[in-house]
């Protein structure tokens, strides 16, 4: 983990925002964060070589609270490298990865940090996620698992049962910084978040906090929308690898069908979200 900068008091919480051509919704992601306690929360942005107005939006906020990492990650590196660049620059004890389309309240940020404070062995804390439209309208709340996780095997078993990510998107998750290895290379595409959760559970358990405040935006411009065609084969491949590594049989026909149904539901939500 990088050492804190000289004469800078390390904050408790780092909100890490990896960006790429996110000017449409980035300002909405940043605005609630600017009201957080600057002594407790830092905002770190790593840009992936945006060619739209993303960097202009970031520069508008830099003077107030945002720490934009110098330079930009070249496009030859994947999205996972940009996530890790932001995380490795974090100075806080707790880290939340906030995708550029999403929104999170300061109330949830503080609640999750407090929950991790009270559970020193926990790798991360996760909460329900509200799916919101391009205009910010709430479409549904995804609670999915709704319980603590004891470790990596517990999550793998839940994967086999649900056929999809039972924790939800990163906007609903806060990590203990040391639960994410500095040298970690995220190699998945659509399943980056799940790869990160599985890695974190090698450090310790995960605690569930049933509290609102996390919003995952579905729209025509969202990054997950652009990966729709890869969702089913990548999900099946990753889940099967994890099951086999835990000595479990690969996905059943029912499990494979659940993945396809989940992918269809995400496409439907994206269609609705872009029109609301």
Domain 13-275: which CATH number of 3.30.1280.10, 3.40.190.10, 3.90.550.10, 3.10.20.600: 3.90.550.10
- Residue pLDDT, tens place only, 178-220: 999 999 988 766 788 999 999 999 999 999 999 999 999 987 6
Question: What's the pLDDT score for residue 221?
Answer: 55
- Is the pLDDT assigned to residue 275 strictly greater than 70? no
Counting residues of the chain whose pLDDT is more than 90, the rounded percentage is 46
Taking a C-beta distance cutoff of 8 angstroms, is the pair 214, 130 a contact?
A: yes
Taking a C-beta distance cutoff of 8 angstroms, is the pair 105, 213 a contact?
A: yes
- Sign for the CA dihedral angle at 26, 180, 197, 150 comes to negative
Q: How confident is the model at residue 145 (pLDDT cuts 50, 70, 90)?
A: confident
Residue 163, SS3 per DSSP: coil
Question: What's the pLDDT score for residue 7?
Answer: 47
- For the CA atoms of 3, 8, 14, 20, the dihedral, rounded to the nearest 10 degrees, stands at -80
- Residue pLDDT, tens place only, 230-270: 778 888 888 888 889 888 888 888 888 887 877 777 676 66
Q: Which of 121, 124, 91, 125 is nearest to 1 (CA)?
A: 91
Q: Where are the domains of the chain?
A: 13-275
Instruction: Summarize the confidence of residues 120-147 as an average pLDDT.
Output: 89
- Is the pLDDT assigned to residue 100 strictly greater than 70? yes
Q: Which of 36, 41, 3 is nearest to 174 (CA)?
A: 41
Q: If you average pLDDT over every residue of the chain, what do you get?
A: 85
- Is the pLDDT assigned to residue 168 strictly greater than 70? yes
């Amino acid at each position: 983990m990088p050492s804190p900068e000289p004469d800078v008091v390390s904050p408790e919480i780092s909100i890490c925002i990896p960006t790429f051509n996110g000017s449409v919704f980035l300002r909405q992601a940043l605005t609630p964060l600017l009201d957080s306690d600057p002594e407790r929360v830092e905002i770190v942005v790593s840009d992936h070589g945006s060619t739209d107005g993303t960097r202009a939006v970031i520069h508008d906020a830099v003077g107030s609270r945002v720490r934009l990492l110098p330079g930009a990650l070249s496009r030859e590196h994947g999205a996972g490298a940009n996530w890790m660049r932001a995380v490795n620059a974090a100075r806080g004890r707790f880290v939340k990865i906030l995708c550029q389309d999403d929104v999170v309240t300061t109330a949830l940020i503080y609640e999750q940090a407090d929950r991790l404070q009270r559970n020193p062995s926990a790798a991360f804390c996760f909460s329900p996620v509200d799916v919101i439209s391009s205009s910010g309208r709430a479409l549904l709340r995804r609670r999915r698992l709704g319980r603590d996780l004891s470790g990596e095997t517990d999550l793998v078993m839940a994967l086999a049962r649900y056929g999809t990510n039972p924790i939800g998107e990163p906007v609903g998750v806060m990590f203990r910084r040391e639960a994410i290895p500095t040298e970690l290379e995220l190699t998945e595409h659509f399943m980056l978040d799940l790869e990160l959760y599985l890695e974190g559970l090698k450090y310790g358990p995960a605690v569930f906090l049933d509290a609102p405040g996390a919003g995952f935006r579905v729209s025509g411009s969202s990054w997950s929308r652009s990966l729709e065609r890869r969702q089913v084969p990548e999900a099946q491949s990753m889940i099967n690898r994890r099951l086999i590594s835990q000595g479990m049989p690969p996905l059943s026909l029912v499990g494979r069908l659940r993945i396809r149904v989940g992918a269809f539901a995400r496409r439907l939500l994206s269609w609705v979200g872009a029109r609301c």
